[in-house]
Structure 1
Amino acid sequence: MPETTLSQRPVSPWTFRAGLLVLVCFALLYTCTSAAHMLLVKHAIGFEAYLGDGPGLPQHLLLTLQLTKAVLLLGVLAVALQRRGLDWATLGLRPTTRKWLMLAVLVAVAGLLIRLMLARWMSVAVPDWATFMRSPYGSVDSGMMVSIALGFCTVLLTPFAEEVFFRGFLFTWMTGHRPVWLAMLVSSLIFGAMHIIPPQAISAALMALALCALYWFSNSLWPPILAHVIGNGIAYFSMLANSAS
C-alpha cells in the first residue's frame, strides 16, 4: 500500500450550495427525530429521572436512537452522492497505511486520558454537572439481543456513520470554501453540539479536532474511524464491567 504524502489532502467535491443543502436536510431530519426521541423519553421514564438521579434509558430506546441517527447520517449522504454521481471514496473511504492506523490508536488512547482528566476537573469545578457524567448507555436491561445490538451500534456503526458525515463530508466541504483551521473548528463544534449534554459535548468537540487532523494529514477516513471505534469501545466495555461488578 503506497505511503500518503504530505502533498495529498482531502479535496471537496461539493459546491457551497450543494453542501449546505445536505447539511440543512440532515439538520431538519435530525431535529424531528430528536423531538420524537424526547417524547419517548418523557413517556418511558420522564425528564426528571432522565436528567437527574433516576434510572437511565432502557437499552431498546438507546438502540432506537443510535440506529436512527446512523441511518439519517448515511441515508442523507447516500442520496446526495447518487444525485451528484459520486462514490463513497469521495468521502474519504480510501486505503491508508499501517503508520496512520498505529497513530490512530495513540490518538484514541490520548483522547481517553484527556476525557478522564476533563471529567475529573468538571466534577470539581462544576459539581452541578455530576448527574450528566454517568454512563449514557442506560441501566435498564432489555435482553441479550438488544444488548448485543446496542454494543454493535455504539462501537462500530455509530463511529463509522459519524466519521463519514462529520469528517468525510462536513469538514471536507468546509475546507473547500473556508480556511482549514476554521473548517476544523466549526465542524468540531457542530459535532460536539450534537451530543447535547455539556460534559459529553465538550469532550466530543475536543476529540473531533484530533479526528479532523488525522483525516486531513492521512487523506483517508479509516484512521479517524479506527480512533473513534477504539474510544467508543473502551467507554462501552468499561460501562459493562462497572455494571457487572
Structure 2
Amino acid sequence: MPKPQRPAARPDLIDVLVTVACFLGAGYLVIVVAGALGLASAGGRASAVLVPLVLASQAAVFLAVFMVVLWHGRGLSLRLLGLGPMPPGWLKRGILWGVGAVLPAIAVNAVTFVLFGVDQTNPQVEMLAPAGPSLWGFLLVLPLVSILVPFVEEVAFRGVLYGWLRHHLKPGLAMAVSAAVFSVAHGIPQLIPALLLVGLLLARLRELEDSLWPCVAMHGAFNAVMTMIMFAALSVGADSMGTDPTQAL
C-alpha cells in the first residue's frame, strides 16, 4: 500500500530558527576553516583555490541541512518558498534590479563611511582576496558569489524567513524585518546600512514576483558587479583591507 504523502508545509518558527542557525553556523565554519588553513598567509594560487573551496563548503553544509532536515524531514514546500516554476522573464528582471542596486548601495556605503566615521575595514575583501588580486582568484570566486551564494542566501532569507514573516505580518513589515535580519546576519557592522537597502529591494522583488528566482538573479547580478569592482580596485592599487566603500556582497 503506497505511503500517503504529507501536505506541503509552509515555513514555521522552527524552520526559521534552523535556517538562521545553519546559516550562521556555516559562516562560523568558514572562519574556523580559513584560520586553520592559513588563507591570509597562503600565497598566489594556493589561496586563490582555497578561498572558493571554503565558500563552496559553506554553501554545501547549508544546502545539505536544508534538504535533509527542512525539505525531506519536515516536508517544507519548495513551491511555497518561491522555488516553483520559473516565471517568464525572471532572469532579465532580476539582473536589471541587481545592476540597478549597485550605485545606491555604493552611495549608502560612502555616506556610512564618511559621515559616521565607521571602521572602513571590510573583511569580505580579505576573505575573497587574502593574497591580493589574481586572475585565478577572480575566475574561481565570481561563479560562487554570483550563483551559489545568492541561491543559498535567497533560500534562507527570502524563502524560509520571508515566507514565515509574510504569513504573519503585513508586507511592509515583513520586508523590513527580513532585510534587517539579512543585514545583521552577515556579521559586518559597517556594511549593515547598504545590506539593509539591498535586503529591502530583494524582499520587494520577492513580493512583486511571488517567486524566488528573480531574487536569485538580482542577488547574483549585484554580487557579480560588486566583485568585479572590488577586484578591479585592488588591481589598480586600492587598499587590500577594503577602504573603498563599493564593496558589499
Normalising by structure 2, we get a TM-score of 0.74
Structure with the largest fraction of helix? 1
Q: Structure 2: which 5+ residue stretches go unaligned?
A: 1-7, 42-46, 237-249
1:195 to 173, 186, 190: 186
User: 1:25, CA displacement in angstroms?
Assistant: 2.4
1:63 to 52, 71, 75: 52
CA RMSD of the aligned region, Å?
Answer: 3.2
Range that drifts further, 105-114 or 20-29: 20-29
Q: Helix, strand or coil for the counterpart of 2:113? A: helix
User: 1:14, CA displacement in angstroms?
Assistant: 2.0
Cα 1:125–1:242 shift into 2, 3 Å: same
User: 1:228, CA displacement in angstroms?
Assistant: 0.8
Q: One-letter code of the match for 1:28?
A: A
Cα 1:77–1:38 shift into 2, 3 Å: closer
User: 1:229, CA displacement in angstroms?
Assistant: 0.9
Q: Show the counterpart of 1:131.
A: 121
Instruction: Answer whether contact 1:109 1:231 (CA < 8 A) is retained.
Output: yes
Q: Show the counterpart of 2:247.
A: none
Q: One-letter code of the match for 1:14?
A: R
CA-to-partner distance for each residue in 1:76-116, whole Å, 9 max, x for gaps?
32121112445533321222122x54443332233111111
The reply to whether residue 77 of structure 1 matches residue 66 of structure 2 is: yes
Q: Show the counterpart of 1:14.
A: 10
Cα 1:239–1:218 shift into 2, 3 Å: same
Structure 2: distance between partners of 1:134 and 1:177? 34
Cα 1:101–1:28 shift into 2, 3 Å: closer
Instruction: Answer whether contact 1:95 1:222 (CA < 8 A) is retained.
Output: yes
Cα 1:128–1:177 shift into 2, 3 Å: closer
User: 1:65, CA displacement in angstroms?
Assistant: 4.4
CA-to-partner distance for each residue in 1:177-236, whole Å, 9 max, x for gaps?
222222211111111112111232321221111111111111121211111111011011
Structure 1: distance between partners of 2:59 and 2:176? 23
Instruction: Answer whether contact 2:9 2:75 (CA < 8 A) is retained.
Output: no
Structure 1: distance between partners of 2:86 and 2:235? 39
The reply to whether residue 24 of structure 1 matches residue 12 of structure 2 is: no
Q: Helix, strand or coil for the counterpart of 2:21? A: helix
Normalising by structure 1, we get a TM-score of 0.75
Structure 2: distance between partners of 1:236 and 1:127? 24
Cα 1:113–1:133 shift into 2, 3 Å: farther
Q: Show the counterpart of 1:4.
A: none
Identical positions, percent: 24
Instruction: Answer whether contact 1:163 1:221 (CA < 8 A) is retained.
Output: yes
Q: Helix, strand or coil for the counterpart of 2:10? A: coil
Q: One-letter code of the match for 2:59?
A: A
Structure 1: distance between partners of 2:149 and 2:97? 18
How many residue pairs are counted as aligned between the two chains?
221
The reply to whether residue 211 of structure 1 matches residue 207 of structure 2 is: no
Q: How does 1:100-119 map to 2 (within 5 A)?
A: 101-119=91-109
Instruction: Answer whether contact 2:112 2:118 (CA < 8 A) is retained.
Output: no
Structure 2: distance between partners of 1:177 and 1:83? 23
Q: Show the counterpart of 2:154.
A: 163
